[in-house]
Homo-oligomer: A and B are copies of this chain.
Amino acid sequence: MNNYLTENKDRFLSELMDLLRMPSVSADPKFKDDVLRTAEFLREKLVAAGADNVEVCPTAGYPIVYGEKMIDPALPTVLVYGHYDVQPADPYELWTSPPFEPVIKNEKIYARGACDDKGQMYMHVKAFEMMMKENKLACNVKFMIEGEEEVGSENLATFVQHNKEKLKADVILISDTGIIGNDTPSITSGLRGLSYLEVEVTGPNRDLHSGLYGGAVANPINILCKMIASLHDENNHITIPGFYDNVDELSGEERAEMAKAPFDLEKYKKALDLGDIHGEAGYSTLERTSIRPTLDVNGIWGGYTGEGAKTVIASKAFAKISMRLVPHQTSEEITEKFQKHFEAIAPVSVKVLVKPHHGGEPVVTPTNSVAYQAASRAYETTFGKKPIPVRSGGSIPIVAMFKSVLGTDTVMMGFGLDSDAIHSPNESYGLFNYYKGIETIPYFYQYFAEMSKA
């Protein structure tokens, strides 16, 4: 670590803790004021770090925080993207410490958003401050931090459309992904897309006594289960007609290359306490979570869920269902195919409503670009090891959107770990990873400037 980082690490940490105390849950309207406070907090920090033209840009939803430092038009420009909103924290009862009261245990910060994405996004703010204070900023930089990533970045596309000039850059830099391990650096070279829908199945027009009506009317919960069950066949292939039509099948060489990434199945099962893994026949666990599309129910509810027993046939049953997409599926295509199929398989004894939530497109980023190479060297400098390119199963829909609207490629310099439990109770982020990120980012700026010149 350099001097400035060493001297300021405690403040860097306490500022992050302040940021994590704000419950900026974009999915739940009751946190609206907290989300807005969080944007204001970032505005102040960017100003303090030395950014110019810092503003909280209004959108139809939550605002986008923008700031920049243009030092020399001759130098390349880096557009940093991140998000200050977080996933809902429930189920709260499974947290060992309150999700919005960050604590440090065994060298990790525990809080909702610690890794996704406040911890990783804030590394860039602090790395920027450091480069400014040490007069080492090697590129122009622009910040665009949004507050709706966890709900599908609904208003970001419009903002980008209307600010193409302002957002002009040579590369987009994002830390919202992970590395294989603290001793095994990696760079995400691909992401899955997403299609997210909510379904509602209606049976009788009111809740019914299961004794008087049981056996004669369609129980919407039983029917919903049948419909969901039918979406996977015995090989866990997805049965939606045409679902795999556009899936990019990898070559044997590519799959062999992937298989080289270190992976310990027994450790994996043990860490999740699984009797066995469960997935699509014919593919490895790494393939199932990266190059193959999936369908998961993210939530289901209906009928009586309170204490004790209630002999009722519910009028309605609901489920939230999402699909992860791979090149070259598109979320619009898959959402449409799901909707058509789900309506088609519904028996006449029920009514079905399918409500698309949001989607995102899959991406694969080139590993031979100057930006990727600069990032690779940066990791190598601070980790002492060349990072492995990895295709991740997660989705950052805006990466594809940036490419199509701005024509700009993205480099995903993530520093999180699978064990950070993002989207889960007890989300955490390692102090090692937080500081390592702040240390690594400036090298990217340095190498990217050098290599762009060459």
Task: Choose among B309, B358, B426 the residue that contacts A309 (Cβ–Cβ < 8 A).
Answer: B358
Q: Report Cα–Cα, A221/B319, bound state, in Å.
A: 10
* In the complex, chain A residues 283-315 whose Cβ is within 8 Å of any chain B Cβ: 285, 288-289, 292-294, 296-314
Task: Choose among B298, B301, B309, B347 the residue that contacts A298 (Cβ–Cβ < 8 A).
Answer: B309
With an 8 A cutoff between CB atoms, is A375 at the interface?
A: no
Stretch with Cβ within 8 A of B (4 or more), from A14-22, A62-70, A227-235, A403-411: A227-235
Stretch with Cβ within 8 A of B (4 or more), from A5-13, A212-220, A242-250: A212-220
Interface membership of chain A positions 39-82, coded 1 if the CB is closer than 8 angstroms to chain B and 0 otherwise:
00000000000000000000000000000000000000000000
* Residue pair A298, B311 in contact (C-beta under 8 Å): yes
With an 8 A cutoff between CB atoms, is A336 at the interface?
A: no
With an 8 A cutoff between CB atoms, is A207 at the interface?
A: yes
Q: Report Cα–Cα, A326/B159, bound state, in Å.
A: 64
Query: Could you list 6 further interchain pairs (A-B, Cβ under 8 angstroms) beyond the known A211-B394, A299-B305, A309-B358?
Result: A212-B394, A215-B293, A218-B276, A275-B350, A277-B349, A300-B317
With an 8 A cutoff between CB atoms, is A32 at the interface?
A: no
For chain A, the bracket of interface size reads 35 or more
List, in ascending order, chain B residues with CB within 8 A of A319's CB: 221
* Residue pair A311, B196 in contact (C-beta under 8 Å): yes
* Residue pair B208, A272 in contact (C-beta under 8 Å): yes
A–B Cβ pairs within 8 angstroms, 6 of them: A28-B308, A210-B423, A216-B279, A221-B296, A223-B278, A225-B297
Q: Which of A229, A285, A347, A357 has the most CB of B within 10 A?
A: A229
* Residue pair A216, B285 in contact (C-beta under 8 Å): yes
List, in ascending order, chain B residues with CB within 8 A of A221's CB: 228, 296-300, 319
* Residue pair A424, B207 in contact (C-beta under 8 Å): yes
* Residue pair A312, B298 in contact (C-beta under 8 Å): yes
With an 8 A cutoff between CB atoms, is A392 at the interface?
A: yes
List, in ascending order, chain B residues with CB within 8 A of A90's CB: 304, 306
With an 8 A cutoff between CB atoms, is A209 at the interface?
A: yes
Q: Which 7 A-B pairs have the closest CB atoms?
A: A27-B308, A211-B394, A299-B303, A229-B229, A215-B294, A218-B278, A278-B349
* In the complex with contacts A203-B274, A349-B276, A303-B300 CB distance below 8 A: yes
* In the complex with contacts A273-B205, A305-B299, A309-B358, A278-B229 CB distance below 8 A: no
* In the complex with contacts A27-B308, A312-B423, A289-B207 CB distance below 8 A: no
Q: Which of A88, A222, A224 has the most CB of B within 10 A?
A: A222
List, in ascending order, chain B residues with CB within 8 A of A133's CB: none
Chain A contact residues: helix, strand, loop or mixed: loop
* Residue pair A300, B300 in contact (C-beta under 8 Å): yes
* Residue pair A212, B299 in contact (C-beta under 8 Å): no
With an 8 A cutoff between CB atoms, is A282 at the interface?
A: no
With an 8 A cutoff between CB atoms, is A102 at the interface?
A: no
* In the complex with contacts A301-B301, A302-B300, A393-B229 CB distance below 8 A: no
List, in ascending order, chain B residues with CB within 8 A of A210's CB: 294, 296, 298, 322, 324, 423
* In the complex with contacts A204-B272, A294-B214, A152-B300 CB distance below 8 A: no
User: Least Cβ distance of A61 to chain B in Å?
Assistant: 12
* Residue pair A324, B214 in contact (C-beta under 8 Å): yes
With an 8 A cutoff between CB atoms, is A136 at the interface?
A: no
* Residue pair B394, A215 in contact (C-beta under 8 Å): no
* In the complex, chain A residues 371-415 whose Cβ is within 8 Å of any chain B Cβ: 392-395
With an 8 A cutoff between CB atoms, is A192 at the interface?
A: yes
* Residue pair B301, A313 in contact (C-beta under 8 Å): no
Residue of B nearest to A224 (CB): B225
With an 8 A cutoff between CB atoms, is A454 at the interface?
A: no
Residue of B nearest to A28 (CB): B307
* Residue pair B222, A27 in contact (C-beta under 8 Å): no
List, in ascending order, chain B residues with CB within 8 A of A350's CB: 275, 278
* Residue pair A348, B151 in contact (C-beta under 8 Å): no
With an 8 A cutoff between CB atoms, is A257 at the interface?
A: no
User: Least Cβ distance of A201 to chain B in Å?
Assistant: 11
